[in-house]
Amino acid sequence: MAADRGQDAFAQAARLDRQRQAESAQAAAKVRAFAASAKAAGIEPTRLTARPYSGRTTLKTNVTGWYIKRDCSVGVSVDGDFYLLHAPGGWSARFKGVHLEPADPPLELGRGARDGESMPIDKALAIRLEAGNTWP
C-alpha cells in the first residue's frame, strides 16, 4: 500500500514536470516571437534592472531588452530569453550589478497570485508590443 502510494506520487510528479516543460516550451516560442516583433517594430530595448529580494532599490543587470510587466519584475532580452528580474542584494550588487540567468517562461504570468495579478503571457506580450516605446 505505502509503496503503491509512493509510486503514484512519483508518477504524478513526473506528469506535472512533463506538463510544465511542455508549457514552458510553448511560452518560450511566444517570447522569442515577441523579441523578433519588438525589434522589427523598432521598439528600443533598454538595460533592464532587477530588484533585490528586499525590494528597496534597483540593481544593474547584464540584460538588455524590454520589461513585460508594468512593475518591471519580468523582462525579455533582445535574444528572446525570459527573465525574472529579482536577485540577491548586498553592497557588491549595488555597485557592480548582478548577472541574471534566463528562466523558463510560464504560460501564465503570476499564476497563483492575488485576483487580477495573473495574465496569460501572450496577452502580456501583446500589450507590451502595442505600447511601443511609450512603456512606463
What are the tens digits of pLDDT across the range 59-95? 999 999 999 999 899 999 999 999 999 988 777 777 7
Contact assessment for residue 54 and residue 12, using Cβ atoms and an 8 Å cutoff: no
Which residue type does 35 have? Answer: A
SS3 56: coil
Rounded alpha-carbon distances, angstroms, from residue 12 to 4, 46, 51, 135: 12, 41, 35, 41
Instruction: Identify the residue whose cell numbers are 511560452.
Output: 27
Beta-carbon contacts of 82 under 8 Å, excluding residues fewer than 6 positions away, are 27, 28, 31, 74, 75, 76, 102, 103, 104, 105
How many whole angstroms separate alpha carbon 57 and alpha carbon 32? 29
pTM of the model: 0.86
> Tens of pLDDT along 104-126?
999 999 876 665 678 999 999 99
